[in-house]
A = this chain, B = another copy of it.
Amino acid sequence: MEKHNNGNSPGTLYVVGTGPGSELYMTGAAAKALETAETIIGYKTYLDLIPSFLTKEKEVISSQMMKEVDRCRESLTIADSGKKVALVCGGDPGIYAMAGLVYELARENDYSCAIEIIAGLAAINSCAARLGAPLMHDFAAVSLSDLLTPWELIEKRLRAVAAADFVTAIYNPKSKKRTEQIVKTREIFLEHREPKTPVGIVTAATRENEKIAITTLDNMLDNEITMQSTVIIGNSQSYTWNDLIITPRGYRGKYSL
């Protein structure tokens, strides 16, 4: 077993979800972990969203995008040396973020620091609230990034949830280089749902540059979709009202509304 901690008692790694962006949507537990930490590590965009009083007079390590493995390894190494470290994730560390990778690295390399996952509001929570109530029935989340997952599996999953009428949240819909997956996704859903099915596109939820578009499956590609967007496709019962998307739970059939 490789030694990482140079004889010190190992410390703690907090994997902290800071939510969608605005400080208002951070939990008390996340703020407390950042306050407790001696070292704060994260991707620059997310670090910049943390209120400065939580980071001042601390070691702050800003990491590049795409360097997730390095970032997690560095966090574990510093925590193993005896420090309290906060690894910052936008959204929820447990949803398409760093929680899993931290555990995978800890397991493969026998790190012995304590690891605590602090949940945060994921895009699925914050974008849904900005759109009205689109997720109110069974839903699925699918990432279109084929960097770590073969497209065949992504397509299989899209077909399954499209056919079974799940409200579907599309993560990582598009990047500069990766533009065709969202086109294909729309085609798959059109095989199972009406062209007028409501679609919401939320970019940079709760941040200064937030953009919200309410559109349809038919017209969704006429709207700007970026790396920071989450796309929510309604189910067969979803409708729009006052620029909101509402998916009924089924009360109307059972109660007089």
Known contacts A161-B140, A257-B108; is-contact A132 B26 (Cβ 8 Å): no
Q: Which of A28, A109, A119, A163 has the most CB of B within 10 A?
A: A119
Evaluate contact between B24 and A25: CB separation under 8 angstroms. Answer: no
Rounded to whole angstroms, the CA-CA distance of A147 and B19 in the bound complex is 33
Binary per-residue interface labels of chain A (19-34) against chain B in the complex, 1 for a CB within 8 Å, 0 otherwise: 1001111111100100
Evaluate contact between A119 and B128: CB separation under 8 angstroms. Answer: yes
Residues in B neighbouring A257, C-beta threshold 8 A: 69, 104-105, 108-109
Residue from B93, B121, B128, B255 within 8 A of A27 (CB atoms): B121
Binary per-residue interface labels of chain A (123-154) against chain B in the complex, 1 for a CB within 8 Å, 0 otherwise: 00110110011111111111100011100011
Known contacts A141-B138, A148-B251, A157-B165; is-contact A129 B119 (Cβ 8 Å): yes
Q: A131 CB to closest chain B CB, in angstroms?
A: 9
Q: Is A164 an interface residue (CB 8 A)?
A: yes
Residues in B neighbouring A189, C-beta threshold 8 A: none
Residues 4-28 (chain A) with a chain B CB within 8 angstroms = 17, 19, 22-28
Residue from B24, B93, B164 within 8 A of A156 (CB atoms): B164
Q: Is A203 an interface residue (CB 8 A)?
A: no
Residues in B neighbouring A247, C-beta threshold 8 A: 100
Residue from B108, B153, B161, B244 within 8 A of A161 (CB atoms): B161
Q: A24 CB to closest chain B CB, in angstroms?
A: 4
Residues 229-257 (chain A) with a chain B CB within 8 angstroms = 241-242, 244, 246-255, 257
Q: A37 CB to closest chain B CB, in angstroms?
A: 16
Q: Is A43 an interface residue (CB 8 A)?
A: no
Known contacts A24-B27, A26-B27, A143-B138; is-contact A251 B69 (Cβ 8 Å): yes
Q: A192 CB to closest chain B CB, in angstroms?
A: 11
Evaluate contact between B69 and A255: CB separation under 8 angstroms. Answer: yes
Q: Which 10 A-B pairs have the closest CB atoms?
A: A148-B250, A100-B136, A160-B164, A100-B133, A99-B133, A119-B129, A140-B140, A94-B128, A117-B129, A24-B29
